[in-house]
């Protein structure tokens, strides 16, 4: 258990921390060089980060490149307070301890991902490949007013470059450890100044780093992923533009699937080990006899219309997404054919948002909008094989979710340097047409519809100390929409409590005090925050069923700071530190696991891990490390008339738990990455050497508790490689 400090004390601490950078910054502005500033859109308009009363980690394309960020999850290495895990195809980002382990039809992440202004509601749809990205912003804390549902932890905003009429492009190829190959191309151009097209394409292949001790294969980790995106932009008039994008992605990859076996905390390894089967317990080794795999494809169409009106800027976002995937699991993780399970998922999403933002320079700046979306999720075909028998259907499920919202946010200059922001969002969420296939009979069971409404306000007061710095205090609320847990339908019906499938929304209230400075060769910010978090949607497991309940309340307190400093024009340093105290205030029915080992009393359940429930009140929230820190250094020097850039990044996390009962622990670890890139004098060619996890840390990226033994996903081992890029 951790002790929780008072919010008032923490607020004073933050202000004290903020004092020293002001004087220091004033002394260092005379160097004649300035750091690149990333324009942020956290308030649905383009602004300087120092003018926004929200804690933000803003990463430019240059920072992403120097940090060797290839996929969205890699931003964890550059963002204090963020964990970015995945389970199967499900992205599970956690910001300041607020995330989820709930993976069922209709469920969403607590951290919303927006790509070019478009919301990806399903965890399956959190776009992982970064194609021609201009910037990534991580908004910390509830964003319930301007971004709405399922932003209790925060939001991640990915911004791509628009098509350009001037013909240009870039090709990049890389080769690294485990036969990892990556090919990426981007090209843009147009016949006129008002019409432009672009194309981005990516192919990633490799052998992976999985060794199967049962079959002797070292190729069970083979993957082949590719994506393509097409864009067309038409400037209809000087004040109106239309941007149409289409993208397709295809994934064939076992790496995110939990395949290893967890053996720490003195726990027995697995059911198979009880029966004498040889099981893998070393990092990156597996022992399954049935290959675990994930396959998916997705199609996305997005239409953005922008128009500059006389009094405001109007934007329309229209989106359609269609994604399907198939998971293959060997749940016992051994050569024995104890339990194999396959399931399919499909997602169809439509969303429409209208946004209106003031464009004047008056004392009042405002934003208002309407939002609507539907999400139809199905698990149409589940099947299982027990004891080597043929696969048989084990049911399926589906649900339709919809949401409508109206929101507004206004900032008024009370004085020339004092700004008050007030906003609110009213949302109506509905879950309908929910069904599950009852395992015992194979019949389709239809559930009653459910709906909720909510109001999520926001209030912030910002004082502008000078043109380069400001201090703010804010109060915000967020919510995570309720769901109908169709995946737990069979268990609920067997227990005689079908109403248990109805899960209420989560609610969070957050207070934050912060300071920001940006000027010359220094960018600095610090924040202190405190959350009250109620009605947490918590998952427990009954074989392949997920049981979701509103079972917990939590308190979160923390302090964060980020510094970017240019010692010289060539030498830059980035430092980020986040301290977190996150624990369950009340959680009386937290799931835990005990392996049944008595041959007489266990019978056919010998070796099986049986769930039980205990009190987790006062224990740490899952995936909420007490300390995370990032350190980045880059140095530029002229070499052979070209430019050599040396960069390195160190990420540290303290220990944390993957579950609420503190059974599955990840020890503290560090990830070191380095990159050396040389660009020729004409800036046409560049060659780079890179390395990730250079100290070869062994760590888990996920733990999945279940009947036949806890399964794990291992983080990537040490990898090195070389890349070549050509601009044309």
| Phi–psi pair at 700, nearest 5 degrees | -90, 145
User: Mind listing the pLDDT tens digit for each residue in 131-164?
Assistant: 889 999 999 999 999 998 889 999 999 999 999 9
Q: Is 20 helix (H, G, I), strand (E, B) or coil?
A: helix
Mean pLDDT over all residues of the chain? 88
Mean pLDDT of 684-706: 93
In this predicted structure, what is the pLDDT of residue 720?
A: 98
Strand partners, 252: 295
- Gap between the Cα atoms of 593 and 639, Å rounded: 59
Mean pLDDT of 70-95: 87
- Gap between the Cα atoms of 124 and 323, Å rounded: 8
| Phi–psi pair at 707, nearest 5 degrees | -55, -40
Residue 479 has pLDDT above 50, yes or no: yes
User: Mind listing the pLDDT tens digit for each residue in 492-506?
Assistant: 777 777 877 888 889
In this predicted structure, what is the pLDDT of residue 12?
A: 37
Domain locations in the chain as residue ranges: 7-727
The CATH classification number of 7-727 equals 2.40.170.20
In this predicted structure, what is the pLDDT of residue 259?
A: 72
- pLDDT class for 124, splitting at 50, 70, 90? low
User: Mind listing the pLDDT tens digit for each residue in 579-602?
Assistant: 999 999 999 888 888 888 888 888
- Gap between the Cα atoms of 517 and 187, Å rounded: 37
| H-helix segments, 29-166 | 61-66
Cβ atoms of 625 and 655 closer than 8 Å: yes
User: Which residue has better confidence, 420 or 452?
Assistant: 420
- Gap between the Cα atoms of 564 and 523, Å rounded: 5
674: nearest Cα among 687, 695, 692: 692
In this predicted structure, what is the pLDDT of residue 584?
A: 93
Q: How many CB atoms lie within 10 A of CB 193?
A: 10
DSSP secondary structure letter of residue 605: G
In this predicted structure, what is the pLDDT of residue 299?
A: 95
Cβ atoms of 74 and 156 closer than 8 Å: no
User: Mind listing the pLDDT tens digit for each residue in 660-677?
Assistant: 888 889 999 999 999 999
- pLDDT class for 85, splitting at 50, 70, 90? confident
Cα dist from 589 to 388, 467, 536, 616, whole Å: 35, 52, 12, 7
- The pTM for the full model equals 0.92
Residue 633 has pLDDT above 80, yes or no: yes
- 3-state DSSP percent of the chain in helix, strand and coil, to 5: 10, 55, 35
Q: What is the CA radius of gyration of the chain?
A: 25
Q: Please name the residues in contact with 280: beta carbons below 8 A apart, sequence gap of 6 or more.
A: 212, 213, 260, 261, 286, 287, 333
Least confident of 10-19, 145-154, 289-298: 10-19
- pLDDT class for 33, splitting at 50, 70, 90? confident
In this predicted structure, what is the pLDDT of residue 361?
A: 86
User: Mind listing the pLDDT tens digit for each residue in 207-242?
Assistant: 999 899 888 888 888 999 999 999 999 999 999 999
Cβ atoms of 454 and 505 closer than 8 Å: yes
């Amino acid at each position: 258990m951790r002790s929780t400090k008072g919010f008032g004390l923490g607020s004073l601490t933050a202000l004290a921390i903020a004092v020293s950078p002001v004087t220091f910054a004033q002394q260092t502005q005379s160097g004649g060089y300035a750091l690149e500033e990333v324009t942020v859109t956290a308030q649905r308009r383009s602004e300087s980060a120092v003018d926004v009363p929200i804690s933000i980690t803003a990463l430019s394309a240059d920072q992403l490149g120097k940090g060797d960020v290839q996929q969205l999850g890699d931003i964890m290495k550059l963002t204090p307070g963020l964990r970015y895990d995945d389970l199967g195809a499900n992205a599970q980002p956690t910001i300041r301890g607020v995330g989820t382990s709930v993976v069922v039809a209709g469920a969403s992440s607590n951290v919303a991902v927006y790509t070019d202004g478009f919301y990806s509601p399903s965890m399956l749809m959190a776009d992982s490949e970064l194609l021609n990205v201009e910037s990534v912003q991580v908004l910390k804390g509830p964003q319930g007013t301007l971004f709405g549902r399922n932003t209790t932890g925060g939001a991640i905003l990915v911004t791509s470059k628009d098509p350009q009429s001037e013909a240009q492009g870039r090709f990049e190829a890389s080769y690294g450890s485990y036969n990892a190959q990556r090919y990426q191309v981007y090209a843009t151009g147009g016949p006129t100044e008002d019409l432009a097209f672009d194309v981005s394409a990516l192919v990633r292949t490799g052998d992976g780093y999985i060794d199967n001790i049962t079959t002797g294969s070292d190729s069970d980790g083979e993957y082949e992923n590719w994506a393509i995106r097409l864009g067309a932009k038409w400037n209809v008039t000087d004040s109106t533009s239309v941007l149409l994008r289409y993208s397709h992605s295809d994934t064939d990859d076992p790496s995110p699937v939990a395949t290893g076996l967890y053996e720490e905390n003195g726990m027995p390894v697995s059911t198979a080990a009880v029966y004498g089967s040889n099981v893998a317990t070393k990092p990156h080794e597996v022992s399954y006899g049935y290959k675990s795999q994930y396959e998916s494809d997705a199609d996305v169409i997005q239409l953005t219309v922008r128009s500059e009106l006389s009094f405001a800027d109007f934007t329309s976002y229209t989106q359609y997404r269609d994604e399907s995937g198939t998971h293959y699991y060997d749940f016992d993780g051994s050569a024995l054919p104890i339990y194999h399970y396959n399931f399919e998922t499909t997602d169809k999403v439509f969303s429409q948002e209208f946004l209106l933002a003031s464009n004047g320079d008056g004392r009042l700046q405002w934003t208002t909008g309407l939002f609507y979306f539907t999400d139809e999720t199905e698990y149409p075909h589940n099947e299982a094989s027990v004891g080597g028998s043929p696969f048989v259907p084990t049911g399926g499920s589906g649900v339709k979710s919809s949401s409508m919202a109206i929101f507004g946010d206004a900032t008024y200059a009370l004085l020339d340097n004092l700004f008050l922001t007030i906003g609110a969002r009213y949302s109506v969420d509905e879950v309908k047409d929910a069904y599950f296939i009852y395992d015992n009979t194979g019949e389709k069971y239809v559930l009653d519809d459910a709906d909720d409404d909510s109001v999520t306000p926001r209030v912030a007061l910002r004082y502008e100390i000078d043109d380069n710095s400001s201090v703010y205090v804010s109060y915000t609320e967020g919510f995570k929409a309720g769901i109908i847990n169709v995946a737990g339908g069979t268990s609920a019906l067997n227990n005689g409590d079908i109403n248990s499938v109805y899960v209420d929304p989560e609610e969070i209230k957050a207070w934050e005090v912060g300071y920001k400075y940006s000027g010359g060769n220094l960018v600095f910010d610090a924040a202190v925050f405190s959350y009250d978090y109620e009605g947490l949607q918590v998952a427990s497991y009954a074989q392949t069923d997920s049981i979701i309940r509103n079972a917990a309340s939590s308190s979160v307190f923390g302090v964060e700071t980020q510094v970017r400093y240019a010692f010289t024009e060539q030498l830059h340093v980035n430092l980020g530190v986040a301290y977190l105290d996150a624990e369950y205030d009340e959680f009386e029915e937290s799931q835990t696991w005990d392996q049944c080992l008595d041959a007489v009393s266990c019978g056919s359940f010998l070796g099986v891990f049986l769930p039980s429930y205990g009190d987790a009140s006062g224990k740490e929230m899952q995936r909420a490390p007490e300390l995370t820190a990032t350190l980045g250094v880059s140095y530029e020097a002229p070499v052979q008339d070209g430019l050599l850039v040396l960069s390195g990044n160190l990420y540290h996390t303290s220990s944390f738990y993957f579950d609420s009962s503190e059974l599955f622990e990840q020890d503290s670890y560090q990830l070191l990455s380095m990159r050396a890139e040389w660009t020729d004098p004409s800036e046409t060619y560049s060659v780079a050497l890179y390395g990730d996890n250079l100290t070869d840390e062994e760590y888990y990226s996920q733990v999945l508790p279940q009947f036949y033994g806890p399964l794990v996903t291992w983080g990537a081992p040490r990898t090195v490689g070389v890349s070549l890029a050509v601009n044309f």
